[in-house]
Amino acid sequence: MVVNPNSNKPIYVQIAEWLETEILSGNINSDEKIYSQYQLAEIFTINPATAAKGLNILVDQKILYKKRGLGMFVSENAKEMVLMKRKSETLQQMIEDLVSEAQRLAVSEAELIEMIKSVKKEEEGRL
Q: Does residue 30 lie within any of the structural domains?
A: yes
User: Which pLDDT value is given to residue 90?
Assistant: 84
User: Which pLDDT value is given to residue 6?
Assistant: 83
Q: How many C-alpha atoms does 20 have within 13 Å on its Cβ side? A: 23
> In this structure, are 84 and 69 located in the same domain?
no
**Rounded distance between C-alpha atoms, residue 104 and residue 106, angstroms:** 6
> In this structure, are 22 and 52 located in the same domain?
yes
User: Which pLDDT value is given to residue 125?
Assistant: 87
Contacts for 77 with CB less than 8 Å, ≥ 6 apart: 30
Residue 62's domain spans which residues?
Answer: 11-77
Give the pTM: 0.75
How confident is the prediction along the chain (127 residues), in pLDDT tens digits per residue?
668 888 899 999 999 999 999 999 999 999 999 999 999 999 999 999 999 999 999 999 999 999 999 999 999 999 999 999 988 888 888 999 999 999 999 999 999 999 999 999 998 888 7
**Rounded distance between C-alpha atoms, residue 34 and residue 30, angstroms:** 10
